[in-house]
Amino acid sequence: MYRAIIIVLITFWCHTLFSASSDDDWDDEWENGFNDQPVIPEVTYPDWFKKSFLELSDDIQEAVDAGKKGIIVYFGQKHCAYCQALIDKDFGQKDIEAYTRKNFDVIPINIWGSNEVVTPDGLVMTEREFALRENANFTPSLIFYNAQGQKALMLRGFYPPYKFRAAMEYVERGYYKEESFRNYMFRANPPPKFEVSDMNDEDFFMRPPFALDRTLFKAQEPLLVFFEQQDCHACDVLHSEPLEFEETKKLLTYFDIVQLDMNSDTPVITPDGQRITAKQWADQLNLFYAPTLIAFDERGNEIIRIDSVAHVYRLKNVLEFIVSKTYVTTPDFMNWRFDSIFGGKKLPPIEARIDTDSSMDEAQQGSSY
């Protein structure tokens, strides 16, 4: 009984907090003017990010010894507009900075870097190999490791402050031990009980019934599923400039495209042949952000998903990756971006292990994003 009362109180508190925060934090002027092309000059880290030797088990132990919950490994790159947004719009909030510094040490990783990393599970690899292993397709990507070196949560991409606060509290308060992040967010900020508004419609959306099974017969085109919800500001933004971009509109003609309300009881036959509702499918996929876009190949296999803020160029690049069928030979989006950015040239050899604080500062500045 007491547990039920506590859950109700926490749910009410979280719902109140998230509802207020989502309105207060979301800067419409910034968002509508957001340009996700590479930023100049390079992204610089806050001075409170930890200067690490990249032996992550040692970093975790040092964080725990300092009374913290663990570490956040930040995967970024030098000219990433979304990384700049994370630093300005999330870590730039005084309460988020204070909460982060109290509970976590943040360890920056260069996704193209060749410095040696000792992972929490004891493997030695380069920064780039670590980023590939963890599928850090979209920067910034953040992995929360707990005191035991276990992965508590991973976020791929940029999220607005209210969602980022929720992610940190989900880990710091230990909710990840009991429920998925989707269930936590759904409980804390449930969708409206009554229809508030229709979702954004597009001419290219398929109409029901949604029979998406691709197990018996190979489809002619890849499938793109828009998981959205009603009363969704981020969905409104997606349906403005990102989907109005001419190159993107051309790329979309190569897809079968479906829009689903991720909280609805709309019946769906999934690409792998299941007969379930849209909400049940979203539960299976552990979707916690709207809009989430997931692409499936002609046989119904998932290719890639975008489950964070995606503006014009990120969306266009993902669609190009799929339409070009590059994923068949290069399944990692990050590897494809490396080839397209750097022409496939080899990275420099692994740099020598750093032994002094002064050389550490110099090396961090040299590889800073």
* Residue 183, C-beta contacts closer than 8 angstroms, at least 6 positions apart: 283
Alpha carbons 109 and 142: distance in angstroms, whole number? 10
Please tell me the pTM assigned to this model.
0.85
For domain 2-188, which CATH number applies: 3.90.320.10, 3.40.50.720, 3.40.30.10, 3.40.640.10?
A: 3.40.30.10
Range 87-93, long-range pairs (CB < 8 A, 24+ positions): 87/43, 87/44, 87/45, 87/46, 89/25, 89/27, 89/30, 89/158, 89/160, 89/161, 90/158, 90/159, 90/160, 90/161, 90/164, 91/46, 93/25, 93/161
Listing DSSP states for 173-226 in one string gives TTGGGTS-HHHHHHHHSPPPSS---PPPP-TTBPPSSEE---SSS--SS-EEEE
What three-state secondary structure class fits 118?
A: strand
Q: Give the per-residue pLDDT at 311.
A: 95
Same fold, 2-188 and 210-342: yes
Bridge partners, residue 117, by sequence: 125
pLDDT number for residue 320: 96
C-alpha 271/C-alpha 296 separation (Å) is 8
Q: pLDDT tens track of the chain, all 369 residues? A: 444 444 444 444 444 444 444 444 556 666 767 899 998 889 999 999 999 999 999 999 999 999 999 999 999 999 999 999 999 999 999 999 999 999 999 999 999 999 999 999 999 999 999 999 999 989 999 999 999 999 999 999 999 999 999 999 999 999 999 999 999 998 877 666 555 568 999 999 999 999 999 999 999 999 999 999 988 889 999 999 999 999 999 999 999 999 999 999 999 999 999 999 999 999 999 999 999 999 999 999 999 999 999 999 999 999 999 999 999 998 889 888 877 766 555 544 434 333 333 333 333 333 333
Cα-Cα-Cα-Cα torsion 133, 89, 27, 23, nearest 10 degrees, comes to 80
Q: Given this model, what pLDDT does residue 40 score?
A: 87
Q: What strand order describes the sheet that includes 275-277?
A: 210-211, 267-269, 275-277
Note the pLDDT of residue 342.
60
Question: Domain 210-342 is classified in which CATH homologous superfamily?
Answer: Glutaredoxin (3.40.30.10)
Task: Map out the domains of the chain as residue ranges.
Answer: 2-188, 210-342
Q: How many other C-beta atoms are found inside a 10 Å radius of the C-beta of residue 24?
A: 10
At 367 the pLDDT is 32
Strands (E), 11-77: 70-76
Residue found by looking up tokens 């809009």 in the block: 291
Are 83 and 76 spatial neighbours (Cβ–Cβ below 8 Å)?
A: yes
For residue 196, what pLDDT is reported?
A: 53
